[in-house]
Amino acid sequence: MKFHVFSISSLDGSSSLLQSEHKNPQATFQNNNNSSSSNSTNNTTSNFSYGLYQEIIVYSNIPFFAIFCGMLVVSVASFAIQYKTVRRNQKILFGLLFALLCFVIVNMLTRIGSELTVLIPDLDTAIKTNQYVKAVDRVVVILVLYVEMLILSHICKILLDTTKAINKISLIVYKRYQRFLITLLVIIAAVFTLVTVFVFIFAGISSSNIVHDTTTLNYILLALLVCGGLTFLFAAIMITILLNIIGKILLSSMNSELKTDVTQGSHLIKKNALSRAISLQIGLSISLLCQAFGFVCIPLTILWKYNMIIFHHVYNIALCIFIVFILSIFNPLKQIQQKFKPENGSNQRRRTTFDKMMERASVVSDSSVDYYYEYNDEDFVDEDDHTLDKEHYESSFYNISTTQRSKIHQPISTTTTTRFGSSLSLRIDNTR
């Protein structure tokens, strides 16, 4: 009885085995009487066994598993201590941090577990379990990367809202930045979803014996993983650029701020909080870029499988730095939201629409009346018209009046030969 066993190198450097032309897949472990099957068994176990590669991965990831568990405990304790004082944006950021830490801990477990599957006595079960666990591991990595992008985007939105609150950017620019962030997240989600679907398809095909030679599928999955890594790198760079733009706008607002003895202390607090937030944001961006560049090691596993271990260490260290910076940025962001406010912001919020209308009506000067008169002196009401078309009236004064003013400045019934200028003078007198 002969068994033909061949090995297909998986993307993380470990070997996954498929068997063909055999009647009993457990014979490689059970038939010790036949020398031919015994040789086949030795070859199989040597290819799919617990060796140096598995030991390095297991023992190098166990410390990081403990570190991430400790970070989760610290994060929960920090949130519980300052629960009553944190704002809504900080609560969202804490929630994203909890999700990130949970996914990372699961990632450590699946990474270690995938290497320990080689210890399963039954070869066929070991191969299938290895494929399924590695599929879950890759999907969890994708979730970790996407949650990191959500965290960085949320920090960007907090700073963007602050910039809009102090009137340093217009509403149009604010909405453009928002659309840019949403579009970027949708593109990343689409690419990551495609990779996730193919990972599960690949795991299903590899665990079954439908296709014996999965080399082509390996290369396709490798290309998709590299594409996902490049998309992650592109998104990280774009969000970093946007964060730097917003940071410069806030810094410029600090430089143009009028400083007095009374406001000097508040100015220093704002400046320190903003400087710390920008520094931590740069650290977050660098850690993301390190993770993205770490994906370069994945295709290099074709040449040397230990390149995957290099990726694991770069990925784990960058994740630790990212989480530490997230825990450190909460207080600066809170100070920025509290200190960066428009002057007399509370009074401005109390102003009603009627107050704004009366303010605009009160600033009408003689020059504005002349402008009204010169603008409307060219047009006359036709002798046969007894009513003024409302749509024509609103379009005529669109550039010099708002919706609220148009409600105040309604045309007053006059004779059919009344000019627009006369109507305006009556309206202005009536408003005054």
Q: Residue 4: helix, strand or coil by DSSP?
A: strand
Sign of CA dihedral 147, 150, 152, 155: negative
Q: How confident is the model at residue 232 (pLDDT cuts 50, 70, 90)?
A: confident
- Which of 36-50, 298-312, 315-329, 377-391 ranks highest by mean pLDDT? 315-329
> What are 137's two structure tokens?
């591991």
Residue indicated by tokens 């508040």: 266
Cβ atoms 131, 203 nearer than 8 A: yes
* pLDDT 10s digits, 356-413: 555 555 444 444 444 433 334 444 444 444 444 444 444 444 444 444 444 444 444 4
Residue 208 DSSP one-character state: S
Q: What is the mean pLDDT of residues 297-321?
A: 85
pLDDT at 32 over 50: no
Q: What is the mean pLDDT of residues 26-37?
A: 41
* pLDDT tens profile 94-143: 999 999 999 999 999 999 998 888 888 888 888 888 888 888 998 999 99
CA distance 414 to 416: 6
CB atoms under 10 Å from CB of 221, counted, come to 21
68-72, 277-281, 391-395: segment of lowest average pLDDT: 391-395
Instruction: Give the count of beta carbons closer than 10 Å to the beta carbon of residue 14.
Output: 21
Question: pLDDT exceeding 90 applies to what percent of the chain?
Answer: 18
Beta-bridge mates of residue 19: 5
- Higher local confidence (pLDDT), 114 or 431: 114
Residue 147 has pLDDT above 50, yes or no: yes
Both tokens assigned to 37: 């099957």
Secondary structure element (H or E) that encloses residue 252, with its range: helix 215-255
Tens digits of per-residue pLDDT, 160-192?
888 888 888 888 989 999 999 999 999 999 999
Kindly report the CA angle at 84 between 83 and 85, in degrees rounded to 5?
Answer: 95
Using DSSP's 3-state secondary structure scheme, residue 3 falls into coil
* Residue 35 confidence (pLDDT) above 50: no
Summarize the confidence of residues 303-313 as an average pLDDT. 85
The helix/strand/coil state of 424 is helix
Domain boundary assignment for the chain? 4-44, 52-348, 353-431
The confidence score (pLDDT) of residue 204 equals 77
Residue 294, pLDDT score = 80
Burial class (CB in 10 A: 0-12, 13-18, 19+), 399: exposed
Summary mean pLDDT of the chain: 71
| pLDDT at residue 419 in the model | 45
Question: Phi/psi of residue 49, each to 5°?
Answer: -145, 170
* DSSP secondary structure letter of residue 34: -
Neighbours of 303 (CB within 10 A): 7
The answer on pLDDT for 66 being more than 80 is yes
Predicted confidence band at 260 (pLDDT cuts at 50, 70, 90)? low
Give yes or no for residue 63 having a pLDDT over 90.
Answer: yes
Specify the CATH number of the domain 52-348: 1.20.1070
Q: What was the pLDDT predicted at 263?
A: 59
> Model pTM?
0.67
Give the pairing type, strands 15-20 and 4-9: antiparallel
Q: How confident is the model at residue 73 (pLDDT cuts 50, 70, 90)?
A: very high
Q: Are 139 and 194 in contact (CB under 8 A)?
A: no
Task: Tell me the per-residue pLDDT of 214-229, one tens digit each, with 9 for 90 and over.
Answer: 677 778 878 888 888 8
Tokens of 54: 């598995």
| Residue (of 272, 32, 276, 35) closest to 155 by Cα position | 276
The length of the chain, given as a count of residues: 432
Q: How far is it, in rounded angstroms, from Cα 298 to Cα 305? A: 9
User: Could you tell me how many helices (H) and strands (E) the chain has, helices first?
Assistant: 16, 2
